Structure 1
Amino acid sequence: MARRLESWTTPGFMGREGGTDELDRALDRNVSRAVPPIVLALAAYYLLLSAFHMGVLGSEGHGVLAWATGGSALVLLLARGGLHLRPSLAGRGHLAGALVAVLVLANAYLEIVLTGEPWSTMYALLVLLGVGLFFLDWGWFALVAVAALAGWFLAASPHLPDREWFHFGLSLLMATGLSAIVLHLRRENRVRLEELRMKERVRQIELESALDQTERARKGGEEARRAMETAIVQVKESEERFRRLAEATFEGVVFYRDGKILDANPRATQYFGIAVSQMVGDPVLNLLAHEDREGARDGLLAPLGPGDRVRAEQMEVSARRYDGSLFQVELSVVDSLYQGHTARVMVVRDVTNQKRAERMLRRALEEAEANALAKNTFLANMSHELRTPLNSVIGFANILLKKQGGSLPLRELDFLRRIQSNGEHLLSLIEDILDLSKMDAQRLEVVREPVDLEALAGEVVRTLDLQARRKGLELTVDVPPDLSLTMADHRRLRQVLLNLVGNAVKFTAEGQVAIRVITDPDRGRPLRIEVEDTGIGIPAGELDEIFTPFHQVDQSRARAFGGTGLGLTISRSLCDLMGFQLGARSIEGQGSLFIVDLEPDLLPSPGPSVRGEGTASLAQGAERGSS
């Protein structure tokens, strides 16, 4: 026993060579436990990625990537099998983690070299973030980080100093710094934990030694035995008290027995504004507000049931400082030992700020709900009050045009047509604002039903054909035969298509506007609807903003074409409600392509820009438009 204790208390323990080696081994064991599941998860991921690349072998570089990812999955599976058959190999956690990281980085940089896409840097960025969450050793972290940065520079060097590549390189450096910070914090916490565990082992050995000496002393005399038993009781009491105080470091802790305060920690004295010496002997209920004392009496003074250490319920009461001021607290009660006798420990947590924040949040929520209700009520009333006279104006204008149009002078006839046109425009604006308000309040509902897209496209064309012919535009529909029905809200999907095709006609001076339905070639199921025009297009810097309410690309041109800037916003919201996705691609001066993904989870939209994220060339759409 003495030799065992000496081995733990030599100068090399905790901070010198012997302690450092033990600490490093403990850290490596922590890392080793995470290696097998990570290896298995990466193997599954690379199998799926290899299958994906095999599915697109016609594309450049995907054959090599398919072999590379498949080979990586095989290597990882073999490594996982080796770890299972030879558990001793798992003791080299940092080495295994570094090898896995290098394998993942090699795949990432191979994809960069083959595809030339800067976004492939994200794989290396994720690896750098991962090593900060995985490694606990600075040397291995530095090795992987240097390999990652050097590998990226070599793979990306043909593309530098392209601005987008520079952005991803800077992101990689920032990820390295963030990962280093995470590693530092994790290592500090883990080192402290391992040091505490080592110290606990020393304490256990010391206690075993003390018990051994006590046993030998008992044989030497009864007086020595009684003295040693007293020492053991005191050690256990001290350890129990220290442990419970450590559990409540950030809360106030008050020891009491028979309702009288025995002791308190410094945080409790800060809470109640009095020294421990002045608290001792006072009733514990005096720490509470007068109105809460009776309600808390049973919780603080009633005996705990057999086997209970902590009360299940928590009490929220008002506590009283010794200057008379009140503050909100949460209380819990545990049994403990104090000076060899059973006592109670009351744990106090100040929740004043939390309750204040809850009240402010509740008040803000009530105000927001009241404002939303007032806005919705106002819009509903105003839309009704405005639509009623507008319908009358539009109706009488239509009657006059039908019955008296041939007998009116040209100037009065033009006035009448303007009344009709402006009235319909104003009514459309009111409807758009009402729809937007319903969406904002989450009160707009959609009814999913089988929809014939060919018939729906025909309705849209018949509605807008006259407007297109007046501008000399060709309005075409391309719908494959034997098209199956799709589940959607017929009225809302028609509204979306009318907005998209109407915009295309409005902003196209010459050429054509095409409506296409793209299907799954195997089952004939509709996958997406495309609306393409040869109009003025959208500037690259504006493509992200076109779905913002009331946003119009060019205010000077918008005034010439008319509109409120709500059509695309409403269309995207309606698509979201139906489970679809609305995106756009455009080249200024050549035209635009709007895409409604009917099954976004199964097939992404073609091209690099989906749902307005960034700008891209109309490569595929432009070829169709010029054919």
Structure 2
Amino acid sequence: MTSQSATLARLSKLSRLISVDSPSPLLKHVPTTVALLLAIVISLASPSLGVSQPPAFVLCIAIGVASVALAVWFTHRGTDSRMVTIVPLAALLAIAFLRVGTGGTSSLFSALIILPVIWIASEEGRRWIFVAGLGTAVAVMMPFIVIGELPSEGPEWVRGFVSPLVFTAVAAIINEISRQNRVQLKSIRALAEDLESSLADSVGQATQLRRSADELQKANELTNSVLDAVTEQAIIGTDLTGTITVWNPGAASMLGRTAQEMIGHASILELHREDELENRSRELNYPPGATVLNPGFSALVESARLGVGEIRDWTYRRSDGSEFPVEVAVTPRVNSVGTTRGYIFVATDITQSVEVSRFKDEFIGLVSHELRTPLSSILGYLELMRDDSDSPLADEQKLYLGVAERNAQRLLGLVGDLLFTAQTSAGGFPLKVDDISPGDVISAAVDSARPIAETAGVHVEMEGLPSALMIRGDKSRLGQAIDNLVSNAIKFTPRGGSVCVGLAERDDDGRVEITVRDTGLGIPAAELDQLFTRFFRATTATANAVPGVGLGLVITKSIVQAHGGELDVSSVEGEGTVFTLRLPQDAARL
């Protein structure tokens, strides 16, 4: 950087020097002044050359001094006016009178004429050639002009014409050389300015590059410090093909493999179970005929590639072959222009959480199972009391008995839901698979919900129920799922609203699509991700005192997934909600 600055300084100095179009008038007049002074001294000191015409000699000295004074004045003013050519013209006149005063036409100082001629001819413009020629003619013919006579001899006439012509030719040559020098000078100056500007830009870019490099180094140091500080999570980075490029100490501790072993040598797929990757690939439902070069890696990053954040549970494999559950968040790794260069996987060991959840499910299952028997007994005895003809109940007693029976039935339904969720968490539940008509299942669910809907003032309708459409599934479980969606839609729709249940067959993949659309309260966008979590209730439900315990959607999603389908939701708060249930037509997963 020091050498660049020094070079820039030298170029700047050179630019200032060559930016002056010509030397100062005084500097240009120095050769003529010195030559004229020497001629005067020689004339005064040498008797053989003596002064033949003292008045002309004195006039020569006076004009010479005046020319020097003019040169000093023009230099001091710093003007570049063409008036400065008065100085060489005055010098030319002084030389002319010097010739008159030192022998006239035979003067030995005629050669001095060339000095002011050079100055005049070097000025910009062709006209100065003629000015130099005319001035030369005057200087040569001055002896005859002073005495008022014409040349009497032939050589004098020849000298009077030839000498000016020769000086004019010399002036033309000098003028052309000066013109070319000015052109070259301008080119050199422009080049020097360009070089100076380019070097200044280069220095600026180098400074910015060094600053950027320093910032990048600091950012890398900060990133490495953060990665090294995270020891409870495994942070793993890959390129676009799945090759590992980042491996933090948390990954080394969790998986028992060092960064040297993994970075640049191993694939992220080595940490996963093949069956989980295959199942995820099937869930992605690539379009028919689509070519997926790396289906295993695509199963991991497809959502992140599409710009959708995803947190998913996987099973990782340690270096010793043991396996454990992890929760993995996947995000794309982009460069400064937004191009994806790879992916970041942040994995958290959830072994303890899974164990706690398993114990909780076992406890719920145990408690629910133990509650079912006494509840069934209570309902049985309540029914006996109500139907006992030997000891009929009073109307008030029947009212109380009805309240107790309804609450017992409600409690029994809740116990059933708890048992069902415990079954799904424990690894599934049995399905009675058969050929069923989804239209019939929907009609039955809507017919069952109509009394409740009419009481709530909600209009329920169906659309697009092709009777010929058949699928493979458990009619009872699918009916339960649709019942849950329809009852939820009615509960969340204010009086005067509507609920529409639709059925269609998709053309792209042949799946059956069931939609339940309402014009109800809607669900806040920030809560959609938690909607299928057990016991979760949206703020719109709690704020409007909508009854429920937060298990219906969990059960519905489990039933849909057990049939190899998907359940999606979209909602706008205050406008309504749409649940979309997609099922394959061929076979359910048992």
TM-score normalised to structure 2 length: 0.37
Structure number with larger C-alpha Rg: 2
| Greater relative contact order (Cα < 8 A, sep 6+) | 2
TM-score normalised to structure 1 length: 0.35
